[in-house]
């Protein structure tokens, strides 16, 4: 399955920062890149830098009015008039508050995802990863869920307009990929697949199996909502079975995947109880499907993930190891207890109050068993069967 993989990264992407206490913390990018470097899995010839997206690109998804509001609220001292209007654009909430330099910082994130698309569809690489992206909640006219601009939707729109491709968007974030779904809900050439915790209990409250698209796009929206406290085996069973059928039916030219890693048991903002195993397995499945259906064309983005010390660096590193087909993956398969680089643990341990993990995967056998495991699994299988029926 070999294909050249590129890693899109710019140190300035950490400027996307709402405030010091906000759970969305881009320091996780620094931790991940450092882990990959210490694991000798990221070399300079794999790195490419993004350019900021321009207004034309932003307005392929967002309204000009919204972009103007983001720019105005990005000033060091926004006018009283704009501050009073921030609520109209979803930028005055605890989740998504405006901040100085917001437009510039988010434009780089959007530009990074566009750069990844150009690298793959322009023939520069077979795969490209942009961990700074994955802001999947932003809507055409407002920000939401820690997301100011929707880089995933803009990147998909760019792929379609410039290259004329059919895009399968795969969202593995524990929160439903609502902003991308609604952006392409009537589009027959964009299929959105999202596995997530059910919206009954979690933001954004959408993502039911019954959301299937509309008009000529009917049937190109696939949702697989999981029950709280779902574990690895049930999550992966539902993910793999429905996604394989989705890809076979839709026949994409390009896969764009979003890799929020907040379905982990340690994540503080959700209720799923998965381990690092799903973050090894899901990229492997997506990688295989990219080669089966898209001649290997695969763009991967970051996303949610709020345990930035114990979860995100390992999960995103496993994604890159799969995408780049690094030998460490084979070593990990042969030795599931393989240790993380000791110098990475030593460097970052003083910055974190609890013990950092010392292995790539979790010792799940030491975790307390989840009550109602059978009922949760049966409920998820019922959801999987409904989603699969739509693909019959």
What's the average model confidence in pLDDT over 188-207?
97
Give the percent of the chain with pLDDT over 70.
99
**Residue 95, phi-psi category: left (phi > 0), alpha (psi -120 to 50), beta (remainder):** alpha
* 353-369 confidence digits (pLDDT tens): 999 999 999 999 999 98
Q: Which of 321, 294, 326, 319 is nearest to 121 (CA)?
A: 294
The DSSP result for 192-236, as a single string, is: EEEEEE-TTTSTT----TT----GGGTT-EEEEEEPTT--HHHHH
Which band of pLDDT confidence, cut at 50, 70 and 90, is reported for residue 2?
low
Average pLDDT value for the chain: 97
* 7-61 confidence digits (pLDDT tens): 999 999 999 999 999 999 999 999 999 999 999 999 889 999 999 999 999 999 9
Number of H helices, E strands in the chain: 13, 8
* 121-150 confidence digits (pLDDT tens): 999 999 999 999 999 999 999 999 999 999
Question: What pLDDT is stored for residue 391 in this prediction?
Answer: 85
CA dist 158 to 118, 143, 215, 253, 259, Å? 9, 20, 22, 14, 20
**Phi, psi (degrees; rounded to nearest 5) at 389:** -60, -35
CA distance 165 to 305: 30
Q: Dihedral sign, CA of 246, 119, 321, 29?
A: negative
Question: What pLDDT is stored for residue 32 in this prediction?
Answer: 98
8 A C-beta contact, residue 130 and residue 111:
no
Which band of pLDDT confidence, cut at 50, 70 and 90, is reported for residue 307?
very high
Q: Strand, helix or coil at 12?
A: helix
**What is the pTM for the complete model shown?**
0.98
The DSSP result for 169-196, as a single string, is: EEE-SSS--HHHHHHTTT-TTEEEEEEE
Is the peptide bond prior to 204 cis by the omega test (within 30 degrees of 0)? yes
Q: Which of 359, 346, 389 is nearest to 222 (CA)?
A: 389
The DSSP result for 91-137, as a single string, is: -BSSSSB--TTHHHHHHHHHHHHHHHHHHHHTTS-SEEEETT---TT
Q: Which of 62, 136, 137, 273 is catalytic?
A: 137
Q: Which of 230, 217, 210 is nearest to 180 (CA)?
A: 217
Is residue 1 over pLDDT 60?
no
Known catalytic residue at 137:
yes
* 237-271 confidence digits (pLDDT tens): 999 999 999 999 999 999 999 999 999 999 999 99
CA distance 17 to 258: 20
Q: Which of 49, 58, 57, 64 is nearest to 162 (CA)?
A: 57
Is residue 65 over pLDDT 70?
yes
Question: What pLDDT is stored for residue 118 in this prediction?
Answer: 98
CA 90 to chain centre: 21
Structure tokens at 17: 């920062």
Is residue 300 over pLDDT 90?
yes
Structure tokens at 387: 């989603």
Q: Which residues contact 74 (CB under 8 A, 6 or more apart)?
A: 98, 99, 100, 101, 102, 103, 104
CA distance 316 to 10: 16
Question: What pLDDT is stored for residue 390 in this prediction?
Answer: 82
């Amino acid at each position: 399955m070999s294909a050249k993989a590129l890693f899109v990264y710019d140190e300035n992407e950490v400027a996307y920062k709402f405030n010091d206490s906000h759970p969305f913390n881009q320091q996780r990018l620094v931790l991940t890149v450092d882990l990959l470097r210490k694991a000798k899995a990221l070399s300079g010839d794999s790195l490419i830098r993004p350019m900021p997206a321009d207004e034309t690109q932003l307005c392929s998804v967002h309204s000009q009015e919204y972009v103007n509001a983001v720019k105005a609220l990005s000033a060091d001292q926004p006018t009283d008039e704009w501050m009073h209007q921030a609520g109209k654009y979803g930028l005055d909430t605890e989740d998504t508050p405006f901040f100085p330099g917001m437009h510039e910082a988010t434009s780089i994130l959007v530009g990074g995802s566009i750069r990844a698309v150009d690298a793959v569809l322009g023939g520069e690489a077979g795969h490209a990863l942009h961990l700074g992206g994955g802001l999947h909640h932003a809507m055409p006219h407002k920000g939401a869920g820690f997301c100011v601009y929707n880089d995933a939707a803009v990147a998909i729109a760019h792929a379609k307009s410039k290259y004329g491709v059919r895009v399968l968007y795969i969202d593995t974030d524990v929160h439903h990929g609502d902003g991308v779904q609604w952006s392409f809900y009537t589009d027959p050439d964009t299929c959105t697949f999202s596995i997530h915790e059910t919206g009954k209990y979690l933001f954004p409250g959408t993502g039911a199996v019954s959301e299937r698209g509309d008009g000529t796009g009917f049937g190109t929206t696939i949702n697989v909502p999981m029950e709280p406290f779902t574990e690895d085996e049930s999550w992966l069973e539902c993910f793999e079975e429905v996604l394989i059928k989705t890809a076979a039916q839709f026949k994409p030219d390009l896969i764009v995947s979003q890799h929020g890693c907040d379905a982990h048991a340690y994540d503080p903002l959700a209720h799923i109880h998965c381990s690092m195993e799903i973050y090894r397995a899901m990229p492997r499945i997506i990688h295989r499907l990219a080669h089966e259906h898209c001649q290997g064309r695969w763009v991967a983005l970051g996303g949610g993930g709020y345990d930035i010390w114990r979860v995100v660096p390992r999960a995103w590193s496993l994604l890159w190891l799969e995408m780049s087909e690094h030998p460490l993956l084979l070593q990990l398969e042969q030795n599931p207890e393989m240790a993380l680089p000791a110098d990475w643990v030593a460097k970052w341990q003083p910055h974190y109050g609890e013990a950092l993990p010392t292995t790539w995967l979790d010792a799940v056998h030491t975790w307390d068993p989840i009550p109602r495991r059978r009922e949760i699994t049966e409920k998820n299988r019922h959801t999987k069967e409904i989603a699969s029926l739509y693909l019959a």
